[in-house]
Structure 1
Amino acid sequence: MLVGKICNREVVFVEPDTSVAEAARLMREHHVGGLVVVQEKSGKRVPVGIITDRDLVIEVIAAGVDMREITVGDIMSDQLVTAREGDDLLETLKMMRARGIRRLPVIDDDGVLAGILTVDDLIDLFAEQIADLARLIAFEQKREQERRR
């Protein structure tokens, strides 16, 4: 399965000059734990960083910084790791696990933001597949019992 087939295409994003207060408001409004930071290049959104709820807590709230005085660009994680739409999902999952990444921007072949892959999305996907397997096993067991009668 390819990353592009299951990534979430509705990505909440901000630009580096967005205030941290606005970023927090967007996270709350959209019920997300992270925002992809993008820069417009030739009219296209290119990911340049990511900011998470944890960044807000550690870098702003715990440090006693006024959220209105700093921007997303001041605290974003700029060593951004991305996946391509055509990447293999299981290989991408291994990489996420190895690097401790919970949110991964997905880009197209031109480097433009195409989606986001999150651990929560993956848990939902795998839970659904496990439930399908459980139903299949139950169906096969029932069919086998009926044959024995």
Structure 2
Amino acid sequence: MKVSEFHSQGVVHIPATCSLQEAAVQMRDQHVGALVVSEGGGSGRILGVLTDRDIVLQSVCTGSSPITVRVGEVMSPHILSIDVNADIAEAMQAMASHGVRRLAVVSNGTGIVGILSLDDVITALGREWILLTNILRNEQNREASGSIQTPLHA
């Protein structure tokens, strides 16, 4: 399984000067858990990443006002990335070793083309488990109906 099959397409950008409240509204409206922080909030230079967890830990838990705290104050300046052609297992290893739930997906040095979230990985693995379950179920149904095929030759 490749990252390219499961990552979200595109990213949502936000300027570092926006408030955490504005960032939270963007996350809600765009149905994402992370925003790429960039100069001007568009295709400008990428400055970092802001996650929903950052908002909770850096504002809500500390009692700071999400209206006055700026994205640039709490964002992570380090964006971990994975190549679009990497294997899901490689992505899981990167997430585990860095303690993150999301990776920026990059393609041939052209910049970020999407985000791979832990939810995306679970979806990918879930599909594999469904296939395995179907194989077992079909085998059990054939056995129960007496239509077992001859075994494969070694």
TM-score higher than 0.5 here? yes
Q: What RMSD in Å do the two structures reach over aligned CA positions?
A: 2.2
Partner of 2:2: 2
Report the identity percentage. 32
8 Å contact kept, 2:39–2:45: yes
Partner Cα separation in structure 2 for residue 47 and residue 113 of structure 1 = 10
Partner of 2:151: none
Partner of 1:70: 69
Aligned to 1:36, the other structure's residue is in SS state strand
- Higher CA-based Rg: 2
Structure 1 runs (4+) greater than 6 angstroms displaced: none
| Structure 1 alignment gaps of length 5 or more | none
8 Å contact kept, 2:104–2:116: yes
Aligned residue pairs total 146
Structure 1 residues 7-22: aligned runs within 5 Å: 7-22=7-22
1:48 offset after TM fit, Å? 3.4
| Structure 2 alignment gaps of length 5 or more | 149-154
Aligned to 2:147, the other structure's residue is in SS state helix
Relative distance call for 1:65 and 1:24 in structure 2 (3 A) is same
Asked if 1:130 corresponds to 2:104, the answer is no
Relative distance call for 1:88 and 1:47 in structure 2 (3 A) is farther
Partner of 1:57: 56
Aligned to 2:78, the other structure's residue is in SS state coil
Partner Cα separation in structure 1 for residue 127 and residue 107 of structure 2 = 27
TM-score, with length taken from structure 2: 0.81
Instruction: Name the aligned partner's letter for residue 69 of structure 1.
Output: T
Relative distance call for 1:45 and 1:111 in structure 2 (3 A) is farther
TM-score, with length taken from structure 1: 0.83
Partner of 1:93: 92
Asked if 1:81 corresponds to 2:80, the answer is yes
1:104 offset after TM fit, Å? 1.0
